[in-house]
Structure 1
Amino acid sequence: MVKLRLRRAGKKRAAFFRIVATDSRVQRDGIYIDLIGTYNPINGETKINEEIALKWLSDGAQPTDTVRDILSKHGIMKKFHDLKQDKTVVKKPAVKKPAVKKAPAKKPAAAKPAAKPAAKK
């Protein structure tokens, strides 16, 4: 499962995080699939590539609680919710097959009684 989570960078007592898409089995600071943005908790500055974040969310990536809060503050979770609602509301019209008119069924002719053989005397 792909998760959107924080990857720690920076030095001691000066944490800096990258918001990344990564496999859930990989360690916190391990390799990642895609860089989505950055988060600096010291001054609260965040930079997020909205297009990439929406792509991963629509592909089924699950954000951690902290990343979900960060995305919500930027309005990305609301946009994702609206996109999901639009997809469920707009459905393709069902393709109707043209009705095939069946010819009226012919009634079987009445069975004629079999001719009786002449009686022998």
Structure 2
Amino acid sequence: MPLKIRLSRGGAKKRPFYRVVVADSRMPRDGRFIERLGVFDPLKAKDSAERVVLDAEKAKEWIAKGAQPTDRVARLLDGLGVLTREAQSNPKKALPKKKAQERAAASAAAAEKAAAAAAPEA
């Protein structure tokens, strides 16, 4: 049975509130779960102690049993010091795409041509 430690959404419309649960990955997001580990309230201030309330010992036990935390839960566990996750970086994401690079090259060539045309006149 593939287990996940994930968020189960509760709360009203536009007012999310999440439970951190251990569930079978084949179950619906807000469906049946095995154990509730804590809560996450994204509307609280980031430095608030009540933003993430989690039983760290239970989380460690479930991870030792093979439960895989989702990306968001892994970030929460990392913030609490329960789990260490590698920082992810995508250096190519910030680079301009192909068309933008072509436009930049064309504008640079035009600026260079204009500078060359202005230089002999002076």
Higher Cα Rg, which structure: 1
Q: CA deviation at 1:66?
A: 0.2
Q: CA deviation at 1:59?
A: 0.3
Q: Aligned residue for 1:24?
A: 25
Q: Aligned residue for 2:34?
A: 33
Is the helix fraction higher in 1 or 2? Answer: 2
Secondary structure of the corresponding residue to residue 43 of structure 2: coil
The residue correspondences of 1:76-95 to structure 2 (distance < 5 A) are 76-78=82-84
| Structure-2-length-normalised TM-score | 0.63
Q: CA deviation at 1:13?
A: 0.7
Instruction: From 40, 63, 76, give the equivalent of 1:70.
Output: 76
| Structure-1-length-normalised TM-score | 0.63
Secondary structure of the corresponding residue to residue 83 of structure 2: helix
The Cα offsets for residues 77-102 of structure 1, whole Å up to 9 and x where unpaired, read as 04xxxxxxxxxxxxxxxxxxxxxxxx
Structure 2 unaligned segments of length 5 or more: list them.
Answer: 85-122
Instruction: From 50, 55, 65, give the equivalent of 2:61.
Output: 55
Q: How much identity, in percent, do the aligned residues show?
A: 38
- Aligned partners of 1:66 and 1:50: how far apart in 2? 16
Q: Aligned residue for 2:14?
A: 13
Runs of 4+ aligned structure 1 residues displaced above 3 Å come to none
- Aligned partners of 2:33 and 2:11: how far apart in 1? 17
Report the residue type matching 1:65 in the other structure: D
Structure 1 unaligned segments of length 5 or more: list them.
Answer: 79-121
- Aligned partners of 2:14 and 2:26: how far apart in 1? 27
RMSD over equivalenced CA pairs, Å: 0.7
